[in-house]
Chains A and B, each alone.
Chain A
Amino acid sequence: MHSLAFDIAHMFAGAMLVASFALLYQRRMSGIVDTYVVHSLILTVAAGWQAYIQDAPHLYVTAAIALVFKTLIIPIALRRIMRRLDIHRSVETVLGIGPTMLLGVGLVALSILLIFPVTESADAFAREDLALALSVILLGLLTMITRRNAITQVIGFLSLENGLILAAVGVRGMPLVVEISVAFSVLAAFVVFGVFFFRIRERFDTLDVQALGEFRGERR
């Protein structure tokens, strides 16, 4: 049985997964921000679609938050930060891009292995959506781990958050989704509008987090 509505929901989840891989693939800073915009745009559409098929109008609010906040405000802020701090470099990675993407596929397999056996009694579409959402989350985590630049780590975290919102809207009828997504967005805002970047910039002349590591612990 292939209900078109659920197939479309799956397509959006799959598209987010591809966007997460695209995030891993990028080598340029501007590319990463643009890919994040696409990622959030897909989330907006996915949330809107879920609002439509679940008949849950509060999810439209979540979609609106994703649209305004994540596709507009945060990328604009990030680009401003990049301009002001004069960051136009390529992203330095811990592993190569190929091995990173292979790890990504491994993580997708892992998330499927985690979710499928424990949700056998559940509705098939919900299971798959949950597995795809967990994959997006894990890929966001991978992006955070394999990148050295503070901005890319933040974008990795933001994509992780997108995955969580996808999971939350995918599960039927979860209350407080709007509040949770607002809270999470506030968290994201605190990072981006951070206090941190300017603090990091003021204190260091670089956004390279490796440089931060010298001040870790008691090596003085």
Chain B
Amino acid sequence: MLVGLLLQGLQMALVLALAPLLVGWVRKVKARLTRRRGASVLQPYRDIFRLLHKEAVLADNASWLFRVAPYLVFAAIWVAAALVPTYATSLAFSEAADLIVIVALLGSARFFLALAALDAGTSFGGIGASREMMIAALAEPAMIMLVFSLALVAGTTSLSAVAEHMLTGDVGLRVTLGLALIGLVIVAVAENGRIPVDNPATHLELTMVHEAMVLEYSGRHLAMIELAAAVKLVLYVSLLGTLFAPWGIAQFGAGPQALAIGIGAWVGKLAVAGLLLGLFETSIAKMRVFRVGEFLGAALLLGLLGTLLLFVSRNL
């Protein structure tokens, strides 16, 4: 019991600690690929510490929601990340929640962020919130559809159980899993505000989505939101890694050696994912906003297709 709680706590701490590192790593990869030296991978840590010490400037007409929202967003995302088996399955909280809960937590985080964006009353906030909601309106059904298809494969929506099912090797190479992988990557790109859906490095009105929503924030609030975004990235990467590349995860009741392997494997997956993400973002261009709908629609259809194939056959 205590061990379980400790492991869960370790997972939450590791996620929090490694999140800015992942963000720094992706930026470094992108810089190197565009023949720049780029900032150090530890730069995001310095940014967050700097922000924490700065004064938070609030707009005159901002309400209590504006001040509270960053904490709500951070809390929701951190709890969601706690539910994803990163280096071990069957962590303490995993009994209480499944994939649907993760989706719901992420949805509520987005909801609060959008409200806060509208709260300041600026036009940028309005644009950002409306675009974010448009993306969410498609990304969430796609996510749920993909979760369905995975749940059908594993027979349960509990993420721990799905991970363990994938590990058993009984699953084999299935078309549905391939479709789900592509779909989840699309959704992950959209939810994390990465190219081709949104450019995390821009502040141009035409191209901002996430940045537009948080434009009014400063100081510790901004630090919370940045950290939350980083944790969200770790969440999605860990999710993809657990579901589709589950090797190295420590199972229930494993000894410290297996746990160490699990942590090492997870860090390795984060590194590889960061590299791939950097490569991906550098090689394609951001798509026009109205095309994002089609992009996510494709993910939804892939989920639909995967579910359809599952219903008709055991092998597909």
Least Cβ distance of B139 to chain A in Å? 15
Q: Check if B316 sits within 8 Å of A105, measured CB to CB.
A: no
Given contact pairs A10-B316, A98-B297, A112 touches B308 in the complex (Cβ within 8 A): yes
Q: At the interface, yes or no: A18 with Cβ under 8 Å from chain B? A: yes
Q: In the complex, A42→B304 CA distance in Å?
A: 22
Given contact pairs A108-B308, A112-B308, A7 touches B301 in the complex (Cβ within 8 A): no
Give the interface SS of chain A, mostly helix, strand, loop or mixed: helix
- A125 touches which one: B294, B309, B312, B315 (CB < 8 A)? B315
Least Cβ distance of A54 to chain B in Å? 18
Given contact pairs A105-B305, A108-B305, A11 touches B178 in the complex (Cβ within 8 A): yes
For residue A13, which residue of chain B has the nearest CB?
A: B175
Least Cβ distance of A90 to chain B in Å? 11
Q: At the interface, yes or no: B258 with Cβ under 8 Å from chain A? A: no
Interface size on B, residues (CB 8 A): 25
- Chain A 98-134 residues near chain B, CB threshold 8 A: 98, 101-102, 104-105, 108-109, 112, 116, 124-125, 128, 131-132
How many interface residues does chain A have, given as a range?
A: 20 to 34
Most interface-central of B293, B298, B308 (chain A CB within 10 A): B298
For residue B311, which residue of chain A has the nearest CB?
A: A112
Q: Check if A128 sits within 8 Å of B304, measured CB to CB.
A: no
Q: At the interface, yes or no: B82 with Cβ under 8 Å from chain A? A: no
Given contact pairs A108-B308, A124-B315, A128-B316, A2 touches B179 in the complex (Cβ within 8 A): no
Q: At the interface, yes or no: A69 with Cβ under 8 Å from chain B? A: no
Given contact pairs A15-B178, A124-B313, A128-B313, A7 touches B308 in the complex (Cβ within 8 A): no
* Sample (24) of A-B pairs whose CB atoms are under 8 Å apart: A2-B172, A2-B173, A7-B174, A10-B173, A10-B175, A10-B315, A14-B179, A17-B305, A18-B178, A18-B182, A18-B302, A21-B298, A21-B302, A25-B294, A27-B291, A98-B297, A105-B304, A105-B308, A112-B312, A124-B313, A124-B314, A124-B315, A125-B315, A128-B315
